[in-house]
Chains A and B, each alone.
Chain A
Amino acid sequence: MVFDKLIEMKPEKQTSTRYVATFHNDYGAISFERRLKKLGDSQARLMPVPRHISASCGLGVAFFIPFDPKTMPDENTDSVYQSDGDSYQLVFENK
């Protein structure tokens, strides 16, 4: 089935914890991903925000090193979720 092939093309899921960050604008996502890569997460990547987190069509970032509220978010970051398969738990909200 074509869909299975499409799913296979996606990057492999990591065994470490997966986080998803959402943002107030796409640039927030782009700069966050660069920041995560500098912090050592080579697997950090831009992704469309999962539908059940948000009705927004903005970009999100999936990342795989432990979330650090001091070094990772900036004023464009909205929230960070910890992902367990298909469910997401809110771990940080930028007020």
Chain B
Amino acid sequence: MKNKNLVVIIITGALFAVAAWVLTNGMALIPGGTSNPGNMGFCIACFLRDTAGAYKMHSASVVQYLRPEIIGLVLGAFILSLAKKEFKPRGGSAPMSRFLLGMTVMVGALVFLGCPLRMVLRMAAGDLNAWVGLIGFILGVFVGTLFLKSGFAFPRNEEQSTVEGLIFPITQIVGLVLLLAFPALLAFSESEPGAMHAPVLVSLGVALIVGALAQHSRLCQAGSLKNVFLTKNFDMFWGGLAIFVVALIFNLVQGNFKLSFADQPVAHTEWLWNIIGLFIVGLGSVLLGGCPMRQLILAGSGNTDSAITVVGMIVGAAFAHNLGMASSPAGTTPAGRIAAIAGIIIMLVIGFTHLKKEKA
């Protein structure tokens, strides 16, 4: 029933918002509870960057922590896809282009300081910088749909071996083992925002549920806008709106809604680069076939093209911090701005060189 699918999507969106609240302001209600950074119940880009730091792929000491949310999202999707017989190892479609796009999307996200999901959570907290960034995101997805209509396509992927599809989920299990049993091997920030995190098992448990929900619902911020532009179907958009509305309600009720540009947690006020950063994420996500969270979910479901994209995002995060490209609450950096412009050029080149000609 079309109604039922819409209801499932909206409930999923609402649950995403609840999950994000649990990991931030929810934990703050518990005596002795620790929480994720502000407006960061989930941020795939930030968390992949923090994970890269935990493995010492970069040495930005304030952002090193092996985020269990990433592990949970992937394994939640993995477990549910196995249970529903939807685990399908597929890949082999333009791996280097996807890897590079993954790096580019990460750079864009680190210039803005958030992935599309965090953008929504920030918007729901009154962070006007995220509202400004939304303009860039919508524009980026729109340009992506223009590429699609003009014939952009990576080569089709192919069935892969089971082992091929299992490698990425297994890396997450390995990461979990390291985090729980061999933490001395990893880096742990001692100051914010890397030091701010909900308890490991809470983060993991919540993310497992969200990962499964995301696999089931296919929720994707870029996908929802793509569907609106190309099919006029708003189902997934209402799901995204549900995330926003429920997160907003929690913020209002708890008194955590602060409407401003300045002094927002892990955010900066450079409007142009907020727009450009999310423009990169929007366009890149359409070319890649999904926003960063969707890439995690697909990778957990056996899609090795998405797994390579995620690896590209991790490497991109490492480069971004090693070369001084990432923004901070103080603003963007010269290297970050150059990288952002380079990223736009890279996406345009990849876009234009993969246009299929219409058959006569």
Contact = CB atoms under 8 A, between A and B. Distances in A.
Interface of A: 3, 6-7, 10, 24-28, 30-31, 34, 45-48, 50-51, 55-59, 74-76, 86
Interface centre among A10, A27, A56 (most CB of B within 10 A): A27
B16 to A, nearest CB: 16
B148 A30 contact: yes
Nearest to B85: A55
A6 B289 contact: no
Nearest to A6: B234
Given A7-B3, A57-B218, A48 B235 contact: yes
A14 to B, nearest CB: 15
A25 B1 CA distance: 26
A27 B148 CA distance: 6
A27 B152 contact: yes
Nearest to B354: A27
A19 to B, nearest CB: 16
A49 B3 CA distance: 15
A25 B290 CA distance: 12
Contacts of A3: 3, 6-7
Interface of B: 1-3, 5-7, 81, 84, 86, 88, 148-149, 151-154, 156-157, 215, 217-218, 220, 223, 226-227, 230-231, 233-236, 238, 289-290, 294, 301, 356, 358-359
Interface centre among A10, A24, A28, A58 (most CB of B within 10 A): A24
B359 A48 contact: no
Contacts of B234: 6
Given A31-B358, A57-B290, A46 B153 contact: no
Contacts of A57: 218, 220, 223, 289-290, 294
A15 B68 CA distance: 51
Contacts of A31: 151, 356, 358-359
Contacts of A59: 227, 230-231
Nearest to B359: A74
A13 B3 CA distance: 15
B2 A7 contact: yes
15 contacts: A3-B3, A6-B238, A26-B230, A27-B148, A27-B151, A27-B153, A27-B356, A28-B153, A45-B231, A47-B233, A55-B84, A55-B215, A57-B220, A59-B231, A76-B156
B28 to A, nearest CB: 33
Contact of A26 (B7, B153, B218): B153
A26 B152 CA distance: 8
A61 to B, nearest CB: 10
A30 B231 CA distance: 10
Given A48-B227, A76-B156, A30 B149 contact: yes
Nearest to B158: A24
B231 A46 contact: yes
Nearest to A27: B153
Contacts of B294: 57
